[in-house]
Structure 1
Amino acid sequence: MADIFDSSFDSDVDIEISDNKIVKGEEVNLTAKDPTMSNILIGIGWDLNTFDIDTLDLDVSCFLLNKNGKTRVDSDFVFYNNMEASDGAVIHNGDSRTGAGDGDDETISVDLNGVPFEVVKIEFVLSIYKGEEKEQTMASLRNAYIHVVNASNGQELLRYELSEDVKGSKDTGMLVASLNREGPKWHFVAVGDGIDGGLAKIATDYDIIVHTG
């Protein structure tokens, strides 16, 4: 993995926690919540079971997809070795190797108005670094969640808790959620589907070849 900083991440604004919890399969119209909103923060947090805390390295990535469900260019894959999409509308704010501490462990900033029109979906993925090699799975996660925050005022718009979706999982990754564009509107979809094969396998499905060694 790239040698980049290791810490817990906090937004520059104080996050106001809401009770807008959603469940797997649910879809929320973000634009309807605030038609003037452009900048959002996607935050993902988790704890690890004690026996995995020193060895399990969880990564958050996202893919900017066109109408065919594929990336347009390599920089549409935003992860620990490519922290920003080429257009600057999607920025990964850093890699936490331990998931230690309270609050968000990794965050991704999205400028909804700046996303190129040909990008109709942004998918957010969790993957365990060398999970197959270490025989580690998503079942090692506790208190995992993803939430969406209005970056301008710190208001939490929704929260999707993943504890039930990772319980007993034998997968090394998960498609957690997606942002779907419908004309001028953006919708958040809670997906929660397990994926096996590691980050390289996931990226290959989107027409990207990744060397993670």
Structure 2
Amino acid sequence: MNRIPEGDGVPVPAQALHVAVGWLTGHGVPDADVSALLLDAGGRVRGDADLVFYNHAEHPSGAVRHLGRSAPGAPGSPAADWLWLDLARVEPDVGRIVVAASADGGAFGRVPGLDVRVTDATGTPVAYRVIGDATTETAFVFGEFHRWGGGWRFRTAVRGYGSGLAGLATDFGIVVEPPPPPIPGPGYVPPAPVPVYAAPMYEPPPYAPPATVPAAPAPLPRGVDFPPAVYQGRGKETVHCDPHLPGGGWVLLEVESYHSLLTTVESCDAYGRAEDFLLMAYEDDVRARTVALVPRSRPLTLRVDADAPWTLRVLPLSHARRFDSHVEGLAHDLVVYDGPPGVLDFLHHGEGHFSVHRHAPPEDPLHDDEERTQLVSEIGEVRVSAPVAGPGLLRISGDGPWKCAVRR
């Protein structure tokens, strides 16, 4: 692995990369929460959305994502918190991407085996540095990606903060607002102050039931039936689906892989380049469902990647589960909501990232695509509500069991 001295840098490819802040677990050892800050030419964020961390897991550009923390093992085993970034998607006015982390429950001086590493999408090492001089810091800048001669470089630039993620974020232009004071009552004991970040990943718009109850919208069509197809492979492979799949319609994808660290499915553009993540699963054993939109002008092409054998099934949408009031599932699934506008209440039992995307037909019939909205983006045990505008496909991703109930 390319071990970088302090302040030195190495060229990195302008493609998808993984960044991990790692450490060794143990009794009383704080966890590290990794984050990324996208900076302009002046070294400042352009807005709160340029801070990507556990409570704002994806940058609007799609160039940076917080993937979450690996499951803790026995004391002394390695752990890591992960970022994914694609330097080819970074907006032109972003000159640097800073990699940082805050300590959850203590100072970094109590964290053994602290390091930062960069690998490409295949796991090939790109850069690595051990962080061995931490003491009372509760947040660290570990390094940064910066533009260099038309490309990108990664260099280590360690700088510590005693004020946690709030102090680090403020240094780069993020406005951190304190929580509103609570209303005291009998026996009230004020809690310790906790910073609240100004822009969470999802803030549901105000929802009010209509004055009159409209007629229920028509349910989504079940789609055109076709013979299911099965594809098998190992590692990263491109799947060219049947060219006779109905263009402009959805198909259900079922994915299975076992003993793989990461399983992903991406759609591809007309040139076979990966375009959009349809599934990203970190479980060892994956049995997942997701959805793909078949292009009107060309066959559907997918990129499947797992470091173990995998099976992909392409099925008609009629194979998906449908509901209008309540549904339960596990990890990654695709369900069809057939009900009217309302509020969806979600409960997720897990430790990693929990997200819900809604796919619906375009409002403009001349539009040749789908309407896609992110309803939920949270971490860990989640109780959250989100408004839904009517029938649609719900692409639900988590690492544990979940429930969804509808309020109208």
Taking the aligned partners of 2:73 and 2:59, their CA distance within structure 1 comes to 24
Q: TM-score, normalised by structure 2?
A: 0.41
Where is the strand percentage greater, Structure 1 or Structure 2? Answer: 2
Which residue of the partner structure matches residue 141 of structure 1?
111
Structure 2 CA distance for partners of 1:185 and 1:107, relative to 1, 3 Å:
same
Secondary structure of 1:93's aligned partner: strand
Q: TM-score, normalised by structure 1?
A: 0.75
* 2:115 alignment partner AA: Y
Which residue of the partner structure matches residue 19 of structure 2?
42
- Give aligned pairs, total: 178
Does the 8 Å contact 2:58/2:66 carry over to 1?
yes
Taking the aligned partners of 2:158 and 2:111, their CA distance within structure 1 comes to 13
- Ranked by relative contact order (alpha carbons within 8 Å, sequence separation 6 or more), the top structure is 1
124, 145, 156: which is aligned to 1:179? Answer: 145
Secondary structure of 2:169's aligned partner: helix
Question: How far does the alpha carbon of each residue in 1:160-196 deviate from its partner, in whole angstroms, 9 at most, with x for none?
Answer: 111x232xx1211111110011242111111122122
Query: Are 2:84 and 1:109 aligned?
Result: yes
* 1:173 alignment partner AA: A
Secondary structure of 1:21's aligned partner: coil
The correspondence of residues 63-78 of structure 1 with structure 2, limited to 5 A, is: 63-78=37-52
Over aligned residues, Cα RMSD in angstroms?
A: 2.2
Secondary structure of 1:94's aligned partner: strand
Structure 2 CA distance for partners of 1:180 and 1:171, relative to 1, 3 Å:
same
Query: Are 2:98 and 1:123 aligned?
Result: yes
Which residue of the partner structure matches residue 67 of structure 2?
93
CA deviation after TM superposition for structure 1 residue 115, in Å: 0.3
Where is the helix percentage greater, Structure 1 or Structure 2? Answer: 1
Query: Are 2:73 and 1:79 aligned?
Result: no
Does the 8 Å contact 1:59/1:96 carry over to 2?
no
Query: Are 2:129 and 1:160 aligned?
Result: yes
Structure 2 CA distance for partners of 1:185 and 1:103, relative to 1, 3 Å:
farther
Structure 2 CA distance for partners of 1:147 and 1:174, relative to 1, 3 Å:
same
CA deviation after TM superposition for structure 1 residue 147, in Å: 0.9
Which residue of the partner structure matches residue 192 of structure 1?
158
Gaps of 5+ in 1: 1-17, 32-36
Taking the aligned partners of 1:103 and 1:93, their CA distance within structure 2 comes to 17
Flag the structure with larger Rg. Answer: 2
User: Any runs of at least 4 consecutive aligned residues in structure 1 with deviations exceeding 2 A, and if so which?
Assistant: 95-104, 209-213
Gaps of 5+ in 2: 178-194, 197-408
Does the 8 Å contact 2:39/2:96 carry over to 1?
yes
CA deviation after TM superposition for structure 1 residue 102, in Å: 4.7
CA deviation after TM superposition for structure 1 residue 205, in Å: 1.4
Which residue of the partner structure matches residue 285 of structure 2?
none
The correspondence of residues 7-46 of structure 1 with structure 2, limited to 5 A, is: 18=1, 20-31=2-13, 37-46=14-23
Does the 8 Å contact 2:18/2:85 carry over to 1?
yes
CA deviation after TM superposition for structure 1 residue 198, in Å: 1.1
Taking the aligned partners of 2:82 and 2:164, their CA distance within structure 1 comes to 20
* 1:43 alignment partner AA: A
Structure 2 CA distance for partners of 1:102 and 1:118, relative to 1, 3 Å:
farther
* 2:162 alignment partner AA: D
